Amino acid sequence: MAATVIIPTTLRMFTGHRSELELDGSTVGEVITALADEYPETKKVLFGEDERLREFINVFVGSDNIRDLQGYDTPVNDSSEIMLIPAIAGGSGISKEDEEADDRTGSIMGDRIGEKLTNDEIRRYSRHLLLKEVGVKGQRRLKAAKVLIVGMGGLGTPLAQYLAAAGVGTLGLIDFDEVEESNLQRQVIHGSRDIGRPKVASAKDSIKQINPLVKVETYNERLTADNAERIISEYDIVADASDNYQTRYLVNDACVLLGKPDVFGAMYQFEGQAAVYYAKKGPCYRCMYPAPPPAGLVPSCAMGGVLGVLPGIIGTVQANEVIKLIIGGGEPLVGRLVLFDAWKMRWRQLKIRKDPRCPVCGNTPTITELEEYDYEDFCGVRSKEEEEEAVEGIEPKELKRRIDAGEKITIVDVREPHERAIAKFPDAIVIPIGQLERRKDELDPSADTVFICKEGKRSILAVRTLREAGYTGAAYNLKGGTNAWSRDVDSSFPQY
Q: Which CATH superfamily is domain 384-488 in?
A: Rhodanese-like domain (3.40.250.10)
Q: Which of 202, 263, 258 is nearest to 232 (CA)?
A: 258
CATH 3.10.20.30 matches 2-86: yes
CB 130 within 8 A of CB 98: no
pLDDT at 232 over 70: yes
Q: What share of the chain is helix, strand, coil (3-state, %, to 5)?
A: 40, 20, 45
The CB density around residue 62, as the number of other CB atoms within 10 Å, is: 11
pLDDT (0 to 100) of residue 279: 96
* Inter-residue contact 213 to 262 (CB < 8 Å): no
| Closest by CA position to 343, among listed 304, 306, 298, 318 | 306
- What pLDDT is attached to residue 303? 59
Provide mean pLDDT across the span 247-275.
95
Mean pLDDT for the stretch of residues 67-78: 91
Tens of pLDDT, residues 9-29 = 778 888 988 889 999 999 999
CATH top class, domain 97-378: alpha beta
The residues facing 237 across adjacent strands are: 147
Q: What is the pLDDT of residue 137?
A: 95
What H or E segment, with its residue span, contains residue 309? none
Q: What is the pLDDT of residue 224?
A: 95
According to the model, what pLDDT value does residue 103 have?
40
How large is the average pLDDT for residues 324-328? 96
- d(CA 165, CA 379) in angstroms, rounded, equals 36
Mean pLDDT of 403-429: 92
Which pLDDT band holds residue 305 (cuts at 50, 70, 90)? confident
What SS3 class is residue 218? Answer: strand
Q: Is residue 418 very low, low, confident or very high in pLDDT (cuts 50, 70, 90)?
A: confident
Per-residue confidence band for 61, with pLDDT thresholds at 50, 70 and 90? very high
Report pLDDT for 295: 60
Considering Cα of 11, then 14, then 20, then 26, what sign does the dihedral take? negative
pLDDT of residue 2: 86
CB 69 within 8 A of CB 196: no
What's the pLDDT score for residue 101? 38
Percent of the chain at pLDDT > 70 equals: 92
Sheet holding 428-430, edge to edge: 393-394, 475-478, 448-452, 409-413, 428-430
454 closest CA partner among 421, 484, 427: 484
> Is 255 one of the catalytic residues?
no
**Which among 301, 358, 361, 379 is annotated as catalytic?**
301
User: Is-same-fold flag (2-86; 384-488)?
Assistant: no
- Residue 463 binned pLDDT confidence (cut-offs 50, 70, 90): very high
Look up the pTM and report it. Answer: 0.74
Rounded CA separation 406/371 (Å):
53
112-159: pLDDT as tens digits: 998 999 999 999 999 999 999 999 999 999 999 999 999 999 999 999
Question: Considering the chain, what is the average pLDDT of its residues?
Answer: 89
Q: What is the pLDDT of residue 99?
A: 37
| pLDDT at position 434 | 80
Which strands make up the sheet holding 237-240, listed edge to edge? 215-219, 170-174, 146-150, 237-240, 262-268, 271-277, 336-341, 346-351
Cα three-residue angle 299-304-305, rounded to 5 degrees: 135
Percent of the chain with pLDDT over 90: 69
The answer to whether residue 98 scores a pLDDT higher than 50 is: no
pLDDT of residue 164: 98
pLDDT bin (cut points 50, 70, 90) of residue 68 is: confident
pLDDT value at 92 more than 60: no
Strand bridging mode 81-86 / 57-61: antiparallel
Q: What is the mean pLDDT of residues 94-114?
A: 60
Domain boundaries along the sequence of the chain: 2-86, 97-378, 384-488
Assign 64 a pLDDT band (cuts: 50, 70, 90).
confident
CB contact at 8 A, 192 and 137:
no
DSSP 77-131: -TT-EEEEEE---------HHHHTPPPP---TTTT---SPPPHHHHHHTHHHHTS
CA-CA distance, 496 to 494, in Å (whole number)?
6
Main-chain phi, psi angles of 66, to 5 degrees: -65, -20
Residues 378-405 pLDDT 10s: 887 654 445 445 688 999 999 999 999 9
**Residue 90 pLDDT grade (very low, low, confident, very high; cuts 50, 70, 90):** low
Report the candidate in 270, 274, 245, 272 with the shortest Cα–Cα distance to residue 262.
274
Q: Which of the residues 255, 284, 287, 453 is marked catalytic?
A: 453
**Given this model, what pLDDT does residue 95 score?**
41
Rounded Cα distance, 479 and 72, in Å: 66
Q: Cα(first)–Cα(last) distance of the chain, in Å?
A: 58
pLDDT category at 102 given cuts 50, 70, 90 is very low
Nearest by Cα to 128 from 102, 163, 161, 83: 163
The mean pLDDT value for 445-459 works out to 93
pLDDT given at position 300 = 58
Q: Is 301 a catalytic residue?
A: yes
| 99-108, 164-173, 328-337: range with lowest mean pLDDT | 99-108
Residues 6+ apart with CB under 8 A from 453: 303, 413, 414, 415, 459, 462, 478, 481, 482
| H or E stretch covering 172 | strand 170-174
Give me the pLDDT at residue 104, please. Answer: 36
